[in-house]
Structure 1
Amino acid sequence: MLESLPPLLVIAVAIVAGFAGLIWSADRFVAGSAAIASSFGVAPVVIGLTIVAFGTSAPEIMVSISASLKGAGDMAVGNGIGSNIANTGLVLGATALVVAIPVQKHLLKDELPLLLVVMAISGYFLSDGILAQWEAIVLIGALIPAIFLLVYLKKGDLSEQETTDEDSIPHMSRTMAFVWFVIGLGALMLSSEVLVWGAKSAAEMAGVSPLVIGLTIIALGTSLPELAASLISALKGHHDIALGNVLGSNMFNLLAVMSIPGLSGSFPLDQSVFSRDFVVMVALTILLAVAIGLSIWRNRGAGGGKIGKTAGCLLLLSYFGYYVLLYQTAI
């Protein structure tokens, strides 16, 4: 039956259905995640850095595996870096425009320094234009220790604001929380696949290169779970899930998603992946760190700051500026 429909109509329906599915599934997934955190006595920021980050990064993993099996390593690496650019510029930027995101000092002391270290190591590996097999093994091998380090750093480092956020977590049994977590995660993955298929098909019809598809359409599509989850989390008051989700997901993308194609063997990369795309990713992360630092400094008497509309606009403008740069240099 689908064969009888115009290709553009099928693609349009897939994109719309993917968006609708992401919004619903993100709501269920975040509700289940937050309830699980409450039932086990785990802080929302830890859930954001682990379960939510892993769950919303699942589409990137699937795309990376698929691209690797098809010999498209550039697309997989572009997907990981492009998703990080979208997470920082689009996800946090859009979330900050909707509702100011509270930030605490531990972000500058724990999460961001660790993320920057991961970026430095991965950047060093990519700077020569080749992702060697041993480098990919080092990256993916560092994932579990990095997650455990973040969780360890969170112990005894929770602010009053973070404790207060737990009061707004939905109350449900642990069983129901897990049920909604699984349903939400499954729907997130399915919706992302449908959306990415539609977006990728549209891009291919327009004759866009695989690298650009990985950096833009696929990266944007696989980052939509982060956008939906972060927006809904912030609107519901789970501020640390909104911010922790993005930081944890970015680290996950560099250590796991980007390294997957290199596990089967070394492969060459377009030099622009490092000189253009990786540099933009680092610049956006530094911009975020500066915004957090300035906000905390200005509100040092209040014990924390907020990422508001000004920082949100800067992040969004930087994100769209990257697209202009990509259009001028790659298309």
Structure 2
Amino acid sequence: MIAINFAIGLVALIAGAELLVRGASKLALSFGISPLVVGLTVVAFGTSAPEVAVSLRSAYAGQVDLAMGNVVGSSIFNVLFILGVSALVAPLIVSRQLIRQEVPIMLASFVLLFLLALDQRIARLDGIACLVLLALYNVFLVLQSRREQRLQNARAEADGAEPAEKPDPNAWDARAWVQIGLVLAGLVLLVFGARALVDAAVAVARLLGLSELVIGLTIIAAGTSLPEVAASVMAAYRGQRDIAVGNVVGSNIFNVLGVLGVSSLLAPDALPVALSMLRFDLLVMIAIGVACLPIFFTGNVIARWEGALFLGYYLAYTAYIIMAAQDRDALEPFSFAMAAFVLPITFLTLGLIGWREWDQRRRRRRSG
């Protein structure tokens, strides 16, 4: 019965997210928002809708460890697993805007979450601050998109070409109402799926003797991130590789600022942050954000070997938190191997790659 409820909840979440993304994307494009901004906002936020539904349900029901674990675990899963698998499918091309703007914003949101969690609670005021920042970020993206569109139209007119046709937001037709219907249907499925999935996850945690935090960091985080997996892997396979990266980055920004912000507002009390999460999981989240910088800067490409590195680290992270919860004897040698050999070699390699790329660009500027 638990497995059936889990499967039903997961299918409802994925179907709801698909309907929500499809309807909202077409509505946004009809209002003249560029495809890049749609990918960073509507698509990224829509694929994060399962995280919203699950975290809201968990926070409102008082299962706060599940809500926090879902947000942090999904962010880690998005970078390490989704980018890892997508890069194995095809090397990912990263746009300059993502490198210079969105990736640093994602890393800043990770650091902000850590700072807000230092007192081991996410209060309503913290949630309001996160939502205000998310709103400002969205407004900035829309204004930036419109400014770029005006510049493109001006260049087209200067070259004697026809400027891009401006959409008429008042031109509502039957198709617009269909998209609204898809959005509403998606929201209904998300609410239903979140309830079934959370109830099943709590039952699994009790049967296995695992904490709600571990379940949220692993099973729930992976399950609610399946829309991002499908979107990014298919984008990489079809050659739309910039979308694959933009979806992950935009989803992570929304996870921290949006999902956590709304959850903290609707929770009966401030969301407590487990000491284990403060000492380990939040630091891992920041570390992978930092690790993205040299990888993303190296020729604007995430190579297959870098994707394999990300995927390997996700498997190691998952193994660590499960062993920390159940098998203390295996944890000590595993931790020693990671701390003494794997992590230092990885950071040294990333540092050398970053320095080499910076040196090559400096030489090209001098010779040019």
User: 1:321 matched to which residue of 2?
Assistant: 316
Q: How does 1:21-170 map onto structure 2 within 5 Å? A: 35-36=26-27, 39-154=30-145
Following superposition, the deviation at residue 20 of structure 1 comes to: 6.2
- Report if aligned partners of 1:83, 1:222 keep a CA contact under 8 Å in 2: yes
Following superposition, the deviation at residue 287 of structure 1 comes to: 1.9
CA spacing shift, 1:22–1:236, aligned 2, 3 Å: farther
Q: TM-score, normalised by structure 2?
A: 0.70
Aligned residues: 301
Residue 227 of structure 1, aligned match among 226, 229, 250: 229
Residue 211 of structure 1, aligned match among 210, 213, 216: 213
Following superposition, the deviation at residue 21 of structure 1 comes to: 6.4
Question: Does residue 283 of structure 2 align to residue 292 of structure 1?
Answer: no
CA spacing shift, 1:80–1:23, aligned 2, 3 Å: closer
Distance 1:192 1:230 in 2: 22
Which is higher, the Rg of structure 1 or of structure 2?
2
User: 2:249 matched to which residue of 1?
Assistant: 247
Across the aligned residues of Structure 1 and Structure 2, the Cα RMSD in angstroms comes to 3.2
User: 1:302 matched to which residue of 2?
Assistant: none
Question: Does residue 256 of structure 2 align to residue 266 of structure 1?
Answer: no
- Report if aligned partners of 1:77, 1:257 keep a CA contact under 8 Å in 2: no
Distance 1:83 1:31 in 2: 22
User: 1:311 matched to which residue of 2?
Assistant: 306
- Report if aligned partners of 1:196, 1:221 keep a CA contact under 8 Å in 2: no
CA spacing shift, 1:51–1:250, aligned 2, 3 Å: same
Distance 1:176 1:17 in 2: 25
Question: Does residue 279 of structure 2 align to residue 275 of structure 1?
Answer: yes
Distance 1:98 1:183 in 2: 32
CA spacing shift, 1:252–1:43, aligned 2, 3 Å: same
Following superposition, the deviation at residue 137 of structure 1 comes to: 2.0
Q: More displaced, 267-276 or 88-97? A: 267-276
- Report if aligned partners of 2:66, 2:216 keep a CA contact under 8 Å in 1: yes
CA spacing shift, 1:89–1:265, aligned 2, 3 Å: same
- Report if aligned partners of 2:128, 2:261 keep a CA contact under 8 Å in 1: yes
Gaps of at least 5 residues in structure 1 are 1-9, 159-172, 297-304
- Report if aligned partners of 1:87, 1:226 keep a CA contact under 8 Å in 2: yes
User: 1:7 matched to which residue of 2?
Assistant: none
- Report if aligned partners of 1:82, 1:216 keep a CA contact under 8 Å in 2: yes
SS at match of 1:127: helix
SS at match of 1:142: helix
Q: More displaced, 12-21 or 212-221? A: 12-21
